[in-house]
Amino acid sequence: MEAIWRLQKHFPLAFPVNPAPKVPLKEGILKDAEQHLELLGITSEQLKQGIATWCRGSRYWASMTENAPRLDLNGQAVGIVTAAQALHAKQQAKRQRGQARRNQPKPKQDKAVDTAAEQIAD
């Protein structure tokens, strides 16, 4: 997504490039980032969608551990992840893993295995 790439380019400490782990972001980071729309070269809606996408993934949920520092756009700690927020992140990650499993196609059985099973049954 274009917005994420631009955030990573201009604010690499808050939006690290994979494989670096994601970091918990400051509450209200969207309002801070909106001050830089011209620099980023994206619309407010693109920014909103980009940050929402960034904060939805399993890498982000994994970063949300109790007492982890929340970072502003410059990578400065400006708060911490509360116990309730960490629990919510853990629940979201679990829900996301469950959805991913349900969305995976069922493995097709090998016809040779089916045939062998039928011959044994006969």
CB 82 within 8 A of CB 42: no
pLDDT tens string 9-42: 999 999 999 999 999 999 999 999 999 999 999 9
Domain count, the chain: 1
Task: Take residue 90 and report the two structure tokens written for it.
Answer: 């853990």
pLDDT tens string 73-122: 999 999 999 999 999 999 998 888 777 666 766 555 545 445 444 554 44
Domain harbouring 30, CATH code: 1.10.1710.10
- Exposed/middle/buried for residue 40 (C-beta within 10 Å: 0-12, 13-18, 19+): buried
CA distance 26 to 107: 42
Q: Could you list the residue range(s) of the whole structural domain that residue 20 is in? A: 2-121
Beta bridge partners of 80: 69
